[in-house]
């Protein structure tokens, strides 16, 4: 489980209250990835991710050829597009080196209102979760 200090170091979460940070930490999965392992595949189920350590490569298939779209380093987050638009992931996120990534599913973000700062991810109205 990520620590409150690790989560607070992520700029997106840095202004959350201690109570919101505690709820977030309790509901977050701590993914420890080896190089080559995916945090989420292209087309994967929506969730919010944040890189705690390591380096994550963003990849997408174009006509059967994998292309690198970018990189995510510690402090970066991803998953805001699938959350905002209720779509699957448009690309895959794969560890380029041993990495730790935190994952928060839709239920804690929407149903349980794990933290009140989620609405600043995008200036859009967030859809309801797919699952109760």
Query: Which tens digits make up the pLDDT trace of 45-73?
Result: 999 999 999 999 999 999 999 999 999 99
pTM for the full predicted model: 0.82
Under DSSP, the state recorded for 15 is: T
Task: End-to-end CA distance of the chain: give it in Å, rounded.
Answer: 24
Q: What is the mean pLDDT of the chain?
A: 85
Which pair of structure tokens corresponds to residue 115?
């933290």
Share of the chain above pLDDT 70, in %: 80
Dihedral pair phi/psi, residue 66, rounded to 5°:
-80, 130
pLDDT for the residue 72: 96
Kindly list the strands in the beta sheet with 65-72, ordered across the sheet, starting from the edge strand earlier in the chain.
38-40, 92-95, 56-62, 65-72
User: Rounded to an integer, what distance in angstroms lies between the CA atom of residue 33 and that of residue 52?
Assistant: 11
């Amino acid at each position: 489980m990520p620590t409150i200090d690790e989560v607070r170091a992520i700029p997106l979460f840095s202004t959350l209250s201690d109570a919101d940070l505690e709820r977030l930490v309790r509901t977050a999965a701590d993914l420890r990835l080896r190089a080559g392992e995916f945090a989420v595949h292209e087309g994967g189920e929506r969730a919010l991710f944040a890189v705690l350590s390591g380096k994550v490569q963003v990849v997408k298939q174009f006509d059967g050829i994998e292309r690198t779209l970018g990189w995510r380093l510690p402090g970066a987050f991803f998953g805001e597009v699938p959350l905002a638009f209720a779509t699957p992931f448009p690309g895959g996120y794969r560890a380029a080196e041993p990495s730790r990534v935190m994952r928060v599913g839709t239920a804690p973000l929407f149903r349980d209102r794990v933290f009140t700062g989620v609405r600043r991810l995008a200036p859009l109205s967030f859809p309801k979760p797919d699952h109760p």
